Amino acid sequence: MHEVHLMSQVVKSVEQALRGIETGKLSVVRLRVSALSHLLSHDLSSLQSAFEMASLGTTAEGATLDIVTVPVSASCRRCGATSNLCLADIACEVCGARDIDLATVPEVVVHEVVVTE
């Protein structure tokens, strides 16, 4: 049920962003999610269901959840190579070392909301 709690936080953020907008209907909430986020271990339909539950009775009710995966930049301490990681198994793509530095990126960000007239 962690997904429902997270989606409740997303809905709160969206409602705050739309506060004061009188016209239109929210149709899409687009999230940018780190490629290393545990959230991506869930299938999209379960995340959409959690979003639907969290949005009942809010301005986000009826909107579609869209997830954009963002790769995480990493640099290898052993060979110095830099790469973008999209896998849960974190290792240097060049030499295979697991001694890497990951760029700090937010796990989940409300990237965009689409309101239709």
**Secondary structure of residue 30 in the 3-state scheme:** strand
- Domain 2-72+104-116 indexed as CATH 3.30.2320.50: yes
Give, in degrees to the nearest 5, the angle at Cα 82 between 76 and 84: 110
**Per-residue model confidence (pLDDT) at position 88:** 58
Give me the torsion for CA of 45, 32, 117, 14, rounded to 10°: 90
| Separation of alpha carbons 11 and 65, rounded Å | 11
User: In whole angstroms, what is the distance from residue 74 CA to residue 91 CA?
Assistant: 9
Spatial distance between the Cα atoms of 53 and 1, rounded to a whole number of angstroms: 11
What pTM does this model have? 0.78
- Mean pLDDT along residues 36-60: 89
Q: What pLDDT does residue 87 have?
A: 59
**pLDDT averaged over every residue in the chain:** 86
Give dist(CA 52, CA 84) in Å, integer.
32
Which residue type occupies 113?
A: V
pLDDT tens-digit map of 73-115: 889 999 999 888 775 567 777 888 888 887 777 788 899 999 8
At 72 the pLDDT is: 86
pLDDT tier at 54 (50, 70, 90 boundaries)?
very high
Q: How confident is residue 24, by pLDDT bands cut at 50, 70 and 90? A: confident
